[in-house]
Amino acid sequence: MSKPVKRLKFEEAMQRLDAIVTALESGEIGIEDSIAKYEEAMNLAAQCRQILDEAEQRIQQIQINAAGKPECVPFEPPAGASATEEPSV
């Protein structure tokens, strides 16, 4: 069973995920450590998804309509972007 992950800021969680991926890809850690790091990574990924979901809800709550009135409008990603696609830099 995995330990609960401390609540991190999104950027901190992503940095930790990157470090875990690097460690796993290196092949220099044993199977037990690999499993523990994989569990941690899954918890961090879930935490990141939750943070993004909460941010999306906040965006929906603060949008203003054309008449200048606050309006709850579902968030829609830019045309051509998909949820699994990585942003281009």
Q: In tens digits, what is the pLDDT along the chain, a chain of 89 residues?
A: 445 557 889 999 999 999 999 999 998 999 999 999 999 999 999 999 999 998 888 877 777 777 777 777 666 666 765 544 444 43
Place of tokens 């054309």: 66
Instruction: Note down the domain range covering 9.
Output: 1-76
- Report the pLDDT value the prediction gives residue 57, as an integer from 0 to 100: 81
Domain count, the chain: 1
Residue 88 within any structural domain of the chain: no
Residue 84 within any structural domain of the chain: no
Place of tokens 């998909």: 82
Residue 61 within any structural domain of the chain: yes
Provide long-range contacts, Cβ within 8 A and 24+ apart, for 7-10: 7/47, 8/44, 8/47, 10/48, 10/51, 10/52
Contact by Cβ (8 Å): 73, 63: yes
Residue 63 within any structural domain of the chain: yes
Q: What is the CATH number of the domain that holds 32?
A: 1.10.287
Residue 2 within any structural domain of the chain: yes
Q: pTM of the full predicted structure?
A: 0.63
